[in-house]
Amino acid sequence: MPRALFPTLFCGAVATTLERRELQGLATQVYFRSGKTIFSESEFADDVFGLSQGVVRLYKLLPDGRRQIIAFALPGDFLGMPLADRHNFSADAIGEVALCRFSRADLTEFIQSSPNIMRLMIEFAMRELDMAQDQLLLLGNGSAEEKVAIFLVSWRNRLARLSALSGTVPLPMRRQDIADFLGLKLETVSRTLAKLEQKNVIRLVPKGVFLTGLEQTHLVTGRSYQPHI
């Protein structure tokens, strides 16, 4: 995982050096241990968080007590929409995480004064919308094998945009997290992973998976859309 600070990861080459420095100047570095809650659904969003290191699960609790994970945030992601006045979901650390914490008021003022940052915010919001739409399609139409296969390939693709992978795709989240993201039972996820391994399209390894042709299978190529998950 990248070890750069969030402003560098978020801005990339789009923002100027001065804009990155100003954004960094607004930030306070904070750290959370594995399993710790960063914020909870419906809380006032006086602070905004950008992820520098680690992975964060974003989720809602349903009225019947079930948990629906809506996304896994990676370095360079804001945890939700930065300008919202309340958090629309809860966020927990998966492993140890490092974040930049911003005052929402200060960040809003800065975004409004910086066209480059405003552009990046719009692009971030569009990516989040794309991923949400893809997940809805997958939840409503995919078989268990399709859901797991597309999740693994899409997760690999997201990680590859951050840094070169050695071949093994790390899976820092638990299988229960994957189940709650895909709308499946834990037993179904475990059984499906074993089935994909038996088909020789993946190889399960400690804390990860090695894809051995999964992206070329009909489970992935047969979908009518290109997922952004």
Give the pLDDT confidence of 168-207 residue by residue, as tens digits.
899 999 999 999 999 999 999 999 999 999 999 999 999 9
Q: What is the pLDDT of residue 229?
A: 46
Helix ranges restricted to H, the chain: 6-11, 17-25, 104-113, 115-141, 144-162, 175-182, 186-198, 218-221
- The pTM for the full model equals 0.90
Domains defined along the chain, listed by start: 6-128 (2.60.120.10), 142-221 (1.10.10.10)
Helix, strand, coil fractions of the chain, as percent rounded to 5: 45, 25, 30
Q: How far apart are CA 165 and CA 1, in angstroms?
A: 10
Is the separation of the CB atoms in 211 and 132 below 8 Å? Answer: no
Q: What is the pLDDT of residue 225?
A: 45
Q: How far apart are CA 88 and CA 187, in angstroms?
A: 29
